[in-house]
Amino acid sequence: MAKSVLVLNGPNLNMLGLREPQIYGTDTLAHIEALVAEEAERLGLAVECRQSNHEGQLIDWIQQAHGEHHGIIINPGAYSHTSLAIHDALKAVGLPVLEVHLSNIFKREAFRHHSYVSLVAVGVICGLGATGYRLALQALNEKL
Ligand code: DQA
């Protein structure tokens, strides 16, 4: 049976395309999810993509991934820098996690330089836009 990956996007990522295009580019989330689906098919992975602006919803999906998915790719948006609860949920389910950021968070404001999620991630990809999600799928595929 195909290994399954959950791809989560956090707050404000539903605004991609419109949101600060000089930082995040002009790709919409729908376009990124289509790229993810294409890459997953190429790799023989099953994939489920979800987005929420709500921390608790993201935590519910992370918890539900236990027994349903084999790995998680997450762009937690601003929750990366604030959410100990998302950190704890990812740690609790114990699945391999790849963290993705469209922008290079280290070239930006100091408050974006720390991520609670990085502490529980196998790896972090940032600054490569939509390509980061494709690379994360490839990396996770090698881990699974
Ligand atoms: C982001 C970077 C975060 O600092 C920011 O809050 C986001 C998007 C990125 O993909 O570059 O919402 O995660």
Reported as a single tens digit per residue, the pLDDT across 77-88 is 999 999 999 999
Count: domains in the chain:
1
Which ligand 1 atom sits closest to the C-alpha of 108? 4
Which ligand 1 atom sits closest to the C-alpha of 75? 13
What are the DSSP E strand ranges found in the chain? 4-9, 46-51, 71-75, 97-101, 123-126
Domain coverage including residue 46: 4-143
pLDDT confidence of residue 30: 98
pLDDT confidence of residue 1: 81
The CATH number of whichever domain residue 53 belongs to comes to 3.40.50.9100
pLDDT confidence of residue 66: 97
**Sites in the chain below the pLDDT cut of 50:** none
CA separation (Å) from 2 to 42, 47, 117? 12, 10, 26
Q: At what angle do helices 29-43 and 131-143 cross, to 10 degrees?
A: 30
* Closest protein CA for atom 8 of ligand 1: 77
Task: Tell me the pLDDT tens digit for each residue of 48-63.
Answer: 999 999 999 999 999 9
pTM score of the predicted model: 0.97
